[in-house]
């Protein structure tokens, strides 16, 4: 690779952003906000800051359209990144090291600081060419996506400031794809975090006590994990299914007990469940209820998180937003792979408010490394992504007025 002097300014900017430690549990959000405000000045675009929760500020940069009454385009990205285990990284995860192959290593390289800079750099190029579009374009930069979004997008969508953005269509993050295709997500699985409490007879650890919490817990675990095995088998046996099409259940917490020689009166198991939009959520909860009843008396469940919205964005040609997105990609000779997102992003809050949204990160020929050690993105892939947005943004911002629009 060439020296630092020849580096593309957009790559340099990407690496600068990666060095801002917006990592949980104490993200340096002020550094990210200062960085984004600086970019809004460079772009000569207004920047608005909205504190949605104490110490949690959303940044909105707006490029007004020539017909601002039309519904706008939202380009969403989150500013936070997940924790790292530095001993497993070959480079400092916050140094944004670039190797001889042009791979840029850093926490957030794929998830999703790349997309933030790609949006900004595409808009910089479009503006420098003197372009203007009918629809207004909003860039939103959101905190706390990686810890569930409750203190970020989930709160923001209920604000008057969000409604005032007058959104018609949103783009948010997707995933890398190791092949030539680009993965596109039109919906997400519902996230359920559930804790099952098993109560039973306590006593001395030397006896055969009947009706113990442990016996009930064993039945609960068998029911949940047998179902997990069935879904895993279903995924493995079908070439048509992806992870987003099946329900995953994982046992994530076990709690209870006081001493080695005391049979406890209560034991608890917590599960992370991800449910596709095709599943009847009411029927699924009834299944959980039955598993608990079958385990015996004194077995109850409670939700820590219970996503009930199953909105998906239409990927039918009758949807003008999708038609524009997909036909633009087609013109760029891109192959799209449409899926349900297996995890969770801020898109779910946008869709829940009734706005169509697509999850898309332009990263093909790239291993999926979000949340993983040695997360990286190649600079060539990164630069190609800017060019993709340079085509997508104008296309979406010039979608003809739709029914009900001024």
| Active-site amino acid positions | 80, 145
State the pairing for strand pair 182-188/336-341.
Answer: parallel
The count of C-alpha atoms lying within 13 angstroms of the C-alpha of 346, restricted to the half-sphere facing its C-beta, is 30
Q: How far apart are CA 183 and CA 177, in angstroms?
A: 6
Q: Give CA separation, 126 vs 77, 170, 205, 387, 393, in Å.
A: 19, 19, 72, 10, 9
Q: How far apart are CA 306 and CA 309, in angstroms?
A: 9
CB 142, CB 53: distance < 8 Å: no
What are the residues whose beta carbons fall under 8 Å from the beta carbon of 254, sequence distance 6 or more?
Answer: 267, 268, 269, 270
State the pairing for strand pair 266-275/248-256.
Answer: antiparallel
Dihedral angle of Cα 122, 126, 129, 134, to the nearest 10 degrees: 180
State the pairing for strand pair 190-199/266-275.
Answer: antiparallel
């Amino acid at each position: 690779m060439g020296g630092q002097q020849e580096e593309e300014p957009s790559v340099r900017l990407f690496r600068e952003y990666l060095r801002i430690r917006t990592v949980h549990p104490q993200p340096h959000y002020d550094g990210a906000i200062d960085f984004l405000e600086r970019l809004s000045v460079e772009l000569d675009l207004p920047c608005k800051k909205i504190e949605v929760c104490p110490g949690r500020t959303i940044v909105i940069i707006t490029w007004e359209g020539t017909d601002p009454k039309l519904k706008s385009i939202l380009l969403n990205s989150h500013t936070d990144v997940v924790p790292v285990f530095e001993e497993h990284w070959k480079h400092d995860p916050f140094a944004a090291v670039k190797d001889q192959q042009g791979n840029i290593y850093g926490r957030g390289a794929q998830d999703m600081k790349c997309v933030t800079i790609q949006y900004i750099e595409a808009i910089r190029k479009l503006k420098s060419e003197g372009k203007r579009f009918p629809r207004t374009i909003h860039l939103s930069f959101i905190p706390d996506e990686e810890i569930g979004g409750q203190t970020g997008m989930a709160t923001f969508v209920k604000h008057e400031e969000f409604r005032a953005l007058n959104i018609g269509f949103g783009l948010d993050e997707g995933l890398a794809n190791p092949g030539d295709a680009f993965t596109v997500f039109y919906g997400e699985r519902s996230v359920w975090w559930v804790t099952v409490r098993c109560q039973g007879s306590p006593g001395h650890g030397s006896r055969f006590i009947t009706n113990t919490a442990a016996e009930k817990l064993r039945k609960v675990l068998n029911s949940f994990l047998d179902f997990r095995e069935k879904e895993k088998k279903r995924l493995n046996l079908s070439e048509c299914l992806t992870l987003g099409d099946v329900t995953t259940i994982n046992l994530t917490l076990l709690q209870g007990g006081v001493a080695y020689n005391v049979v406890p009166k209560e034991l608890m198991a917590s599960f992370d469940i991800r449910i596709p939009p095709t599943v009847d959520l009411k029927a699924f909860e009834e299944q959980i209820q039955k598993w608990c009843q079958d385990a015996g008396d004194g077995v109850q469940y409670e939700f820590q998180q219970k996503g009930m919205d199953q909105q998906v964005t239409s990927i039918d040609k009758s949807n003008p937003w999708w038609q524009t997105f997909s036909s633009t990609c087609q013109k760029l000779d891109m192959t799209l792979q449409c899926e349900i997102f297996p995890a969770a992003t801020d898109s779910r809050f946008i869709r829940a408010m009734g706005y169509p949204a697509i999850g898309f990160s332009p990263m093909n020929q790239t291993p999926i490394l979000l949340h993983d050690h040695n997360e990286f993105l190649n600079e060539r892939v990164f630069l190609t992504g800017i060019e993709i947005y340079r085509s997508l943004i104008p296309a979406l911002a010039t979608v003809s007025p739709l029914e009900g629009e001024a």
